[in-house]
């Protein structure tokens, strides 16, 4: 039925969520190879036609990215061109984090969906299936996750419950989950030394608390200064762009990152009192 619907030129795009939900709920019980192949083709066609709707639907089906959801993500990432679309859509969801956009459901709560996107990115990186495509958007993805940590510290109890109701026994809380995504991203891209240095200075732990969050951002920025100059230039360009967006949290994080990055050049000390 799914294959017939997807193949129809007059396919009703409003049914994408229903189809993705149907696949998600039934996939664990399907054993026939022919049927599985049919569903994989359908997912790829859907992702090609409506990448934004499919990504949003999958995030709604499983905010914490269960093993069933991961099977579906793997299918959509199996083709390089489709993988690029998937990652771009996940990046878009990560950047759609305004604290003004709240809701009582997963489906229309951008903050919950951006948190789900962060968790999904972490799981995708652990699979190591599309690292080339990830590398192409690394600067944007790194900054998006850094900003996501800030927004996660502002989540309401209700929003945390919406995100976590699927697997409350998970050992990673929402904030720690996003921080873990940042660590996995750095390690996957060959920056293990930076990830270890951040840990040694207590940077990852500092990011977890709203009281010490900006200190964590400073430590991360300091270690990212040790990455190749072309990468730093790209990160700075994206930070400059974000400063023009009317979003207080983005502006604060971007300024702290830039100031800490410029300290070695300016010769200012590391003492917090030396910050402008």
**Average pLDDT of the residues in 31-47:** 89
pLDDT at 244: 73
Longest distance between any two alpha carbons in the chain, whole Å:
66
Residue 49 pLDDT > 60: yes
Q: pTM of the prediction? A: 0.82
- CA separation for the pair 133, 135 (Å, rounded): 5
pLDDT at 169: 47
pLDDT at 275: 41
- CA separation for the pair 276, 270 (Å, rounded): 12
Q: How many CB atoms lie within 10 A of CB 99?
A: 15
pLDDT at 274: 43
pLDDT higher at 103 or 130: 130
- CA separation for the pair 88, 69 (Å, rounded): 18
pLDDT at 155: 63
Q: How confident is the model at residue 188 (pLDDT cuts 50, 70, 90)?
A: very high
Q: How confident is the model at residue 171 (pLDDT cuts 50, 70, 90)?
A: very low
- CA separation for the pair 119, 60 (Å, rounded): 12
Q: What percent of the chain has pLDDT over 70?
A: 78
pLDDT at 134: 93
**Average pLDDT of the residues in 180-208:** 94
Q: How confident is the model at residue 133 (pLDDT cuts 50, 70, 90)?
A: very high
The tokens 């996750």 sit on which residue? 145
């Amino acid at each position: 039925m799914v294959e017939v619907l997807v193949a129809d030129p007059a396919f009703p795009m409003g049914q994408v969520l229903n189809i993705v939900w149907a696949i998600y709920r039934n996939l664990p019980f399907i054993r026939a190879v022919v049927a599985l192949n049919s569903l994989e083709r359908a997912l790829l066609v859907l992702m090609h036609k409506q990448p934004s709707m499919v990504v949003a639907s999958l995030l709604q089906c499983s905010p914490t990215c269960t093993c069933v959801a991961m099977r579906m993500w793997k299918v959509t990432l199996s083709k390089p061109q489709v993988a690029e679309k998937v990652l771009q859509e996940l990046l878009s969801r990560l950047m759609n984090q305004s604290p003004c956009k709240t809701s009582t459901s997963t489906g229309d709560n951008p903050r919950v969906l951006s948190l789900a996107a962060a968790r999904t990115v972490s799981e995708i990186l652990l699979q190591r299936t599309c690292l080339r495509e990830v590398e192409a958007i690394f600067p944007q993805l790194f900054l998006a996750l850094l900003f996501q940590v800030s927004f996660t510290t502002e989540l309401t109890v209700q929003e945390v419950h919406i995100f976590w109701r699927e697997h409350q026994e998970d050992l990673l809380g929402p904030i720690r989950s996003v921080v873990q995504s940042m660590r996995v991203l750095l390690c996957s891209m060959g920056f293990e030394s930076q990830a270890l240095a951040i840990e040694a200075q207590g940077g990852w732990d500092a990011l977890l608390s709203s009281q010490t969050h900006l200190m964590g951002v400073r430590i991360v920025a300091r270690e990212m200064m040790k990455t190749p100059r072309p990468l730093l230039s790209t990160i700075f360009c994206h930070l400059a762009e974000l400063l023009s967006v009317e979003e207080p949290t983005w502006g604060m994080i971007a300024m702290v990152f830039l100031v800490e990055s410029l300290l070695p050049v300016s010769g200012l000390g590391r003492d917090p009192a030396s910050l402008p």
